[in-house]
Amino acid sequence: MLTFKNTNIACIILLVLTILGHKMYGISWLIYIAILFVYSLIVGYGCYFVSSGFFMPMYCSANTTDKVIAITFDDGPVKGGTPLVLQILMDADVKAAFFCIGNRIAGNEAIIKQIDADGHIIGNHSFSHSTLFDLLPAEKMLVEMQQMDSGLYNVIGKKTRLFRPPYGVMNPNLKNAIVKGNYLPIGWSVRSYDTMAKDADALLQKVTPKIKPGAVFLFHDRCPITVVMLPGFIERVKSEGYRIERLDKLLGLPAYA
């Protein structure tokens, strides 16, 4: 299996062989550049594609043939979007998972309480969701994650076990922080790219063919277009004979400590 450890071992072996080859047969130093280039491509792939499990195994979907999926929302709570999403979910009697950003809790406590009271679950999506998050050392990442935990605990009295990386980017430091904090790393199997969508119908047409047994959909409750698309998506899921299960139940994981 392609993992960070295996890739490092293969890279070191290739570099040693290249040194020997250079000394014994005079092969070109350009081979070094080629090896490092391929290494960077593979590591970049592992960082960006969380479902690859390159740095650590991630929970991205359920292994089932049952017609069941889960839906998740990242980057809330936000005043404009989250309450609208909650209303749509309530009308459709659907439970979902919300991966919330810690620094958005203050001032939105009522929304957080509503998410919990409606029977949805809340996961950790870091405190700042900063673009620099992935450059932090593991200790500082963990501080951020725990900051989010305490903010959530102060509002609903629960400590989440589920963590989803900001921007969906993994790296070795984040793996260490997840392990140290005893979090369960959550990915997805269907990334809707709703943050980049321009048209709700087009978004709906794009995601519905991906309704498959065990799929985990990633949406954003901060996106107005997602709010417009959501009722149609839920209707389509149900019309295809699927049910929507809450993420923790679909994956068989504890949502809270």
- Residue 15, SS3 per DSSP: helix
- Contact between 42 and 159 under an 8 Å Cβ cutoff? The reply is no
For Zn ion, give the closer residue by CB, 42 or 105.
105
Question: Are 90 and 129 in contact, with CB atoms under 8 Å apart?
Answer: no
Active site annotation includes 66: no
**75 scored as a contact of Zn ion (CB under 5 A):** yes
Where do the H-state alpha helices sit in the chain? 4-25, 30-48, 82-92, 109-117, 138-156, 172-180, 200-207, 224-239, 247-251
**Contacting Zn ion within 132-171 (CB under 5 A):** none
- Residue 235 Cβ, how far from Zn ion at the closest point, in Å? 26
Torsion of CA 62, 64, 66, 69, to 10 degrees: 10
Evaluate whether 225 touches 200 at the Cβ level (below 8 Å): yes
Looking at 57-65, 71-79, 189-197, 236-244, which segment touches Zn ion (CB under 5 A)? 71-79
Shortest Cβ 245–Zn ion spacing (Å):
22
Q: Catalytic: which of 120, 125, 129, 220?
A: 220
Nearer to Zn ion, 74 or 248 (CB): 74
Q: Other CB atoms closer than 10 Å to residue 253's CB: what's the count?
A: 14
Note whether 245 binds Zn ion by CB under 5 A: no
Three-state DSSP class for residue 165: coil
Nearer to Zn ion, 75 or 248 (CB): 75
Q: Which is nearer to Zn ion, 134 or 236 (CB)?
A: 134
Residue 221 as a binder of Zn ion (CB under 5 A): the answer is no
Q: How many angstroms separate the CA atoms of 81 and 72, rounded? A: 14
- What values do phi and psi take at 179, rounded to 5? -65, -45
User: Which residue's CB comes closest to Zn ion?
Assistant: 74
Nearer to Zn ion, 120 or 220 (CB): 220
State the catalytic residue, choosing from 74, 194, 221, 248: 74
- Give the separation between CA 27 and CA 255, rounded to whole angstroms: 55
Interface pick for Zn ion out of 4, 53, 55, 74 (rule CB under 5 A): 74
Least distance CB 109 / Zn ion (angstroms) = 20
Q: Could you tell me how many residues of this chain bind Zn ion (CB under 5 A)?
A: 2
Closest approach, Cβ 148 to Zn ion, in A, equals 12
Whether 125 is a known active-site residue: answer no
- Which positions lie near Zn ion, rule CB under 5 A? 74-75
Catalytically active residues are 74, 220
